[in-house]
Amino acid sequence: MTTNAGAMDLSFLGSDDDLWLDEAACAGLPIESFFVQAGHIIDEEVLNVCRACPVRLDCLKHAYNPDLNITGGYFGGMSPGQRREMSYADAVAFCATDVVVSPAAEEPALDAEPVIYS
């Protein structure tokens, strides 16, 4: 696997059914973004790329392939630690609820009119 800076080369992933790579939302992004050092967390914007990726579950399935022994990196938007703690079925269920986080959606609507109940 290469860890050089620059566009993400996904070819290192291709040892099983890798047709899904053609639709990977991370193609062109720096690979380092998905391989953070131990004790660090991934950038939320990068995680949102995975959350919105059309092949997220394929990527996750790839990471859980025991023949590949993938122990590092974020796959399917899940950290190595999360993948160690969750079964594949639980990880798929997690992905169904782990959606894109919009910073604007978390901000309080300060300009909203107060609701007065009588």
Q: Binding residues for ligand SF4, per CB under 6 A?
A: 24-26, 34, 49-50, 53, 55-56, 59, 75-77
Q: How far is the CB of 69 from ligand SF4 (least distance, A)?
A: 17
Q: Which two tokens stand for residue 103?
A: 């910073």
Q: Based on CB atoms, which residue is closest to ligand SF4, 96 or 110?
A: 96
Q: How far is the CB of 99 from ligand SF4 (least distance, A)?
A: 13
Give DSSP secondary structure letters for 4-18: -SSB--GGGG-SS--
Q: Which two tokens stand for residue 23?
A: 């639709």
75, 62 contact by CB (below 8 A): yes
What is the number of other CB atoms lying within 10 angstroms of the CB of residue 48? 17
73, 80 contact by CB (below 8 A): yes
Q: How far is the CB of 29 from ligand SF4 (least distance, A)?
A: 8
Q: Based on CB atoms, which residue is closest to ligand SF4, 4 or 118?
A: 4
Q: Based on CB atoms, which residue is closest to ligand SF4, 59 or 91?
A: 59
